[in-house]
Structure 1
Amino acid sequence: MIQVIIVEDDPMVREINSKFLERVEGFVLHKAVSNLEDAKKVISTKKPDLILLDVYLPKENGIDFLKWIRAQEMDIDIILITADKSIDRIQEAFRYGIIDYLIKPFSFERFKEALLQFKERYYKFKKNDVIEQKELDKLKASSNFSEKEDDFTKGLNKYTYRAIWDEIEKKSYNDFTAEELAEKLGIARVTVRRYLEFMEKENKIDKLVEYGKVGRPQYKYYKI
């Protein structure tokens, strides 16, 4: 399991991010703290794999903490979570090696995408001593927020696609609905439907329209 520390001074946001993290497979919350002093204490006893770091803390700045970690040459990856939209701040953060930058408020879907991108790279590097240029380019492209996804129509993300398809493959029964998948994965129903429509075009699933006595027809999907 990937060990994670959350550094966030707002108790409500800290709780939300902790709950979000619980919903992403492969990650475990080691500790959630409200200030940089406590974060340093936690790191001194057990180094995490990933830190979800707020920028604006009372009388403190997450960027300073990021710089401190780099100065200590600690092998810890960092995702910044902040309301700061300034280009200067974003550029500075990436220069100091963050892997993603989430602007508050963000959706669970975007949060999950960031973690899945990290997980793919983390395990790819962990199980290999060397990597070919082609594989490295794939990893680089998947973590670049401005990169278009290969073989996907505009607006679709391969990590969301994978999460939905993995859930479909795990199902022990024949039919399912977009609503069931949305509730299970924590993704908006309208988003799930868009991906199901794409999978239908790929001939991975089929759709059946069921008409009831009242209300709108219900769409049920079947894996082919």
Structure 2
Amino acid sequence: MNADRDISVLVVEDEGIAAQAHAEYVRRSPGFALAGVVHTGTEAITFLNASATGRSGTDSDGGLPVYGGGTSEPAVDLILLDMNLPDLHGLDVLRRIRGAGVPADVIAVTAVRDLAVVRSAMSAGIAQYLIKPFTFSAFSAKLASYREYHVNLAGQGLSATQSEVDRALAALRPSVAAALPKGLSPETLEAVSETLKNAAAPMSASEVSAALTMSRITVRRYLEHLDEQRAVARNPRYGTRGRPELEYHWRR
């Protein structure tokens, strides 16, 4: 790939609103161009097969380019792949892409948090794993680090030194963790998370605070953050006097 040209991106997402949002995010990201949007695994494979012949069309949901028309379409450099598709699991799509020798890189963009799926996706060669929901800032950071990785390798010609390879891979795995909301610490977040992961039953904020010997108000802030990140499920606990207390359980 020419390091100076935009990286062309195919969005594979079955939810219409999410697909349009991701497409718009790509458009807003410097150095990237939207190649198309498809909504199933089969459409993704068809699009990739057709991209070499230069055929494309228009998505009826939002005027987005998809396979099936008659104008020139650039090759796909990067695929933003959802894991939960209506016809094929994202891992199956990923394996077929790799088996067909498609040279495009893949970033998993999904709500799936199952470690088995994460491990399988990593083993199959994804570049990054982005968990929904996310902000444009988080999305942009992933694409920026991917572009740095791609440009580093594209500039090396036919061979690279060890330091050049290390620098390219380091761009994909930045050492700085994602920023937490003001007032939250990674250590306490991990403690609250582990407490819920190891719990045999859903826990309330009072029960978590007692287990960690922390104030209920502090624990509640971390639980609300985990709920916003969809790491936990929150439900009212009935059967107690007065207003129902909220209880939380880790999404298995």
Secondary structure of 2:133's counterpart equals coil
Letter of the 2:41 partner, please give it: L
Within the candidate set 1, 9, 20, 1:4 is matched to: 9
Aligned counterpart for 1:104 among listed residues 102, 110, 132: 132
Q: What is residue 209 of structure 1 aligned with on the other side? A: none
SS of equivalent residue, structure 1 residue 98 = coil
Could you tell me how far 1:24 is from its partner in structure 2? 0.5
Which of 26, 31, 43 pairs up with 1:21? Answer: 26
Letter in 1 for 2:42: E
Residues 79-98 of structure 1: matches in 2 within 5 Å? 79-98=107-126
Partners of 2:179 and 2:107 in 1: CA distance: 23
Q: Which runs of 5+ in 2 are unaligned?
A: 1-5, 52-74, 181-252
Which amino acid is 1:40 matched to? I
Distance 1:127 1:70 in 2: 24
Root mean square deviation, CA, Å: 1.9
Query: Secondary structure of the equivalent of 2:29?
Result: coil
Cα deviation 1:196-223 (Å, max 9, x = unaligned):
xxxxxxxxxxxxxxxxxxxxxxxxxxxx
Which amino acid is 1:64 matched to? D
1:45 aligns to what? 50
Distance 1:114 1:3 in 2: 15
- After superposition, the Cα gap between the structure-2 partners of 1:141 and 1:93, relative to the gap in structure 1 and judged at 3 Å, is same
- Find 2:90's aligned residue among 52, 55, 62: 62
Give TM-score scaled by structure 1 length.
0.63
1:84 counterpart letter in structure 2: V
Equivalent in 135, 141, 148 of residue 170 of structure 2: 141
Pairing 1:33–2:33 present: no
**Which of 102, 122, 136 is the aligned partner of 2:150?**
122
Q: Structure 2 CA distance, aligned partners of 1:39 and 1:112?
A: 23
Q: Which structure has greater helix proportion?
A: 1
Q: How far apart, CA to CA, are the structure 1 residues paired with 2:110 and 2:43?
A: 19
* Post-superposition offset of 1:84: 0.8
| Structure 1 runs (4+) greater than 6 angstroms displaced | none
Asked if the contact 2:81–2:107 (Cα under 8 Å) also holds between the matched residues in 1, the reply is yes
Distance 1:69 1:40 in 2: 7
Q: How many residues align?
A: 151
What CA distance in whole angstroms lies between the structure 2 residues aligned with 1:118 and 1:78? Answer: 10
> Is the 2:153–2:168 Cα contact (8 Å) retained in structure 1?
no
Query: How far has the Cα of 1:155 moved from its partner?
Result: 5.0
Paired-residue identity, %: 30
Measure the CA separation in 2 of the matches of 1:60 and 1:96: 16
TM-score, normalised to structure 2's length?
A: 0.56
Deviations 1:149-206 (A, max 9, x none): 8xxxx959xxxxxxxxxxxxxxxxxxxxxxxxxxxxxxxxxxxxxxxxxxxxxxxxxx
Structure whose alpha-carbon radius of gyration is higher = 2
> Gaps spanning 5+ residues in structure 1: where?
157-224
Q: Is the contact between residue 84 and residue 110 of structure 2 (CA under 8 Å) also seen in structure 1?
A: yes
